[in-house]
Amino acid sequence: MEGYHVTVFAYGQTASGKTYTMAKDQPGVIPQAVDDVFDHIRRASENQEFLLRVSYMEIYNEQIKDLLNPETVDLKILEDRRRGVYVSPLKEEIVTSPRSVMKVIQRGESNRHVGTTDFNEYSSRSHTIFQMIIESRERGATPEPLAGQSRRVSSAKPGAVAVRFSQLNLIDLAGSEKATTDLERRKEGAYINKSLLTLGNVISKLTDLKTGPAHIPYRDSKLTRILQSSLSGNAKISVICTVSPVINNLEESHNTLKFAARVKNIRTRAEMNQIMDDKALLQKYRQEIQELRGKLTEMNDFFEKEKLQELTQLKQEKLKWEEEMAENQLVRCAQQFYVDFLIGRL
Ligand SMILES: Nc1ncnc2c1ncn2[C@@H]1O[C@H](COP(=O)(O)OP(=O)(O)OP(=O)(O)O)[C@@H](O)[C@H]1O
Ligand SMILES: [Mg+2]
């Protein structure tokens, strides 16, 4: 809410509870995060205004799919200085309440790839990324930034007001797994394991203090490429590791704990993101509203004038009509008088 990017992901072997932890149902991380965001907005709305957008995508067999617009094909991973790494074209929906967010998630969930494996009846066969993009600005703010905090400010226009921009990524990873019996599931499993292996490699390289700066293979999988901005520093990260209590899964649980120990060593330097130009949607919408208000006032003035003209014209017509009526009356009186005169003469 303060303009920092945040990423939360659940990691662990299949059927260990990642989806359960992140899930849309209470007490999942997603509904709790959504409630927290709206609670904050309710408390801060006297002094700040907010614009919230959400998107929901999955990475299935190394293909990115927009869960809110499944017809879209050829989604690409792009990068720019303001947004970092992002996916485009991705449908973003404006949301105004926790209920509207949950409705959007529900719609996305129905398009998600889930299948039955030897280990989990409803196994996530894809990595899903639910994003909330939050823009906020002070009501009646002055252009001065707050003192003493690090921030990213994009090209400022004179007199522009800062808009804080943050992105919350809530990620449910597909589970690492041993080979399963079903062929289709094995193919999916190979992709899942490859991207999780790349995630492990990226984290090893990032946290390997001995080798110093090294090439980080973010581009080896879609998952690590999308997470690049978060993993490389400009985000706060929370990683939830899930393990199975079953003794047969000891090796997998050990690996998950090793992953957790490594991931703890990532050092982040999240910076506050502020936008000073009209790239902020909030700013754009504000301007649009102001323009529309201006147009409405102009139209009202125009209609007022028209109404006044019409009224004057009507008054004039009424006057003319009254004059005509009076004249007709006079003519009728005169005619009556003449008829009476003629009758008198007879
Ligand atoms: N803490 C928990 N309490 C109760 N049930 C749980 C808990 N964690 C997981 N489960 C149950 O265990 C099963 C497997 O969990 P889940 O689907 O979340 O695993 P997963 O890690 O997402 O697996 P996959 O990688 O295959 O998607 C589900 O039926 C879920 O409801
Ligand atoms: Mg799952």
pLDDT of residue 213: 62
Instruction: Please identify, by atom number, the ligand 1 atom nearest to the C-alpha of residue 20.
Output: 18
Cα of 122 vs centre of ligand 1, distance in Å, is 8
**Does the CB atom of residue 244 touch ligand 1 within 6 A?**
no
Rounded CA separation 22/83 (Å): 24
CA distance 85 to 79: 4
How far are the Cα atoms of 124, 234, 327, 329 from residue 340, in angstroms, in the given order? Answer: 107, 106, 20, 16
Residue of the CA atom closest to atom 31 of ligand 1: 20
Binding site for ATP: residue ranges? 12-19
| β-sheet bridge partners, residue 273 | 152
Return the ∠ at Cα 28 (arms to 23 and 32), rounded to 5°: 125
Mean pLDDT of 17-26: 83
Q: How confident is the model at residue 21 (pLDDT cuts 50, 70, 90)?
A: very high
Q: How many CA atoms lie within 13 A of 323 on its CB side?
A: 6
Å from CA of 173 to ligand 2 middle:
7
Ligand nearest to the CA of 14: 1
Does residue 115's CB lie within 6 angstroms of at least one atom of ligand 1? no
Mean per-residue pLDDT for 81-99?
Answer: 87
Q: How close is the Cα of 17 to the center of ligand 2, in Å?
A: 7
Task: Give the pLDDT confidence score for residue 274 in this predicted structure.
Answer: 73
Identify the pLDDT of residue 81.
Answer: 74
| pLDDT for residue 148 | 41
159 pLDDT above the threshold of 70:
no
- Cα separation, 20 vs 175, whole angstroms: 12
| Residue 225 Cβ contacting ligand 1 at under 6 Å | no
**Structural domain boundaries of the chain?**
6-140+160-276, 280-345
Q: What's the rounded Cα separation, in Å, for the pair 231 and 236?
A: 9
Q: Judge whether 18 and 124 are in contact, CB under 8 Å.
A: yes
Q: Could you tell me if 165 and 275 are in contact, meaning their C-beta atoms sit under 8 angstroms apart?
A: yes
Of 13, 20, 122, the one to substitute when testing ligand 1's pocket (max ligand atoms within 8 A of C-beta) is 20
Minimal CA–CA distance to 181: which of 170, 173, 189?
A: 189
More confident residue, 24 or 252: 252
Are 54 and 93 a contacting pair, CB within 8 Å?
yes
Residue 281 Cα to ligand 1 middle (Å) = 38
Q: Compute the distance from residue 227 Cα to the ligand 1 centre, in Å.
A: 24
Tell me: pLDDT of 151 over 60: no
pTM value? 0.74
Nearest residue by C-alpha to atom 7 in ligand 1 = 17
316-333 pLDDT per residue, tens: 999 999 999 999 988 888
Which residue ranges make up the annotated binding site?
Answer: 12-19
Residue 174 near ligand 1, beta carbon < 6 Å:
yes
- How far apart are alpha carbons 50 and 182 in whole angstroms? 48
- How far does the centroid of ligand 1 lie from the alpha carbon of residue 123, in Å? 8
Q: CB burial class (10 A; 0-12, 13-18, 19+) of residue 153?
A: middle
Q: Which atom of ligand 1 is nearest to the CA of 23?
A: 18
pLDDT of residue 64 exceeding 80, the answer is: yes
- pLDDT: which is higher, 259 or 285: 259
CATH superfamily name and code, 6-140+160-276: Kinesin motor domain (3.40.850.10)
Measured CA to CA, the distance from residue 235 to residue 243 in angstroms comes to 25
Q: Is the CB of 13 under 6 A from ligand 1?
A: no
Instruction: Verify whether ligand 1 is closer than 6 Å to residue 283 (CB atom).
Output: no
In this structure, what are the phi and psi dihedrals at residue 68, rounded to the nearest 5 degrees? -90, -10
Looking at 268-310, which runs of residues are DSSP E strands? Answer: 272-275
Decide whether any atom of ligand 1 lies within 6 Å of the 123 Cβ: yes
Closest C-alpha to 17, from 256, 183, 222, 265: 256
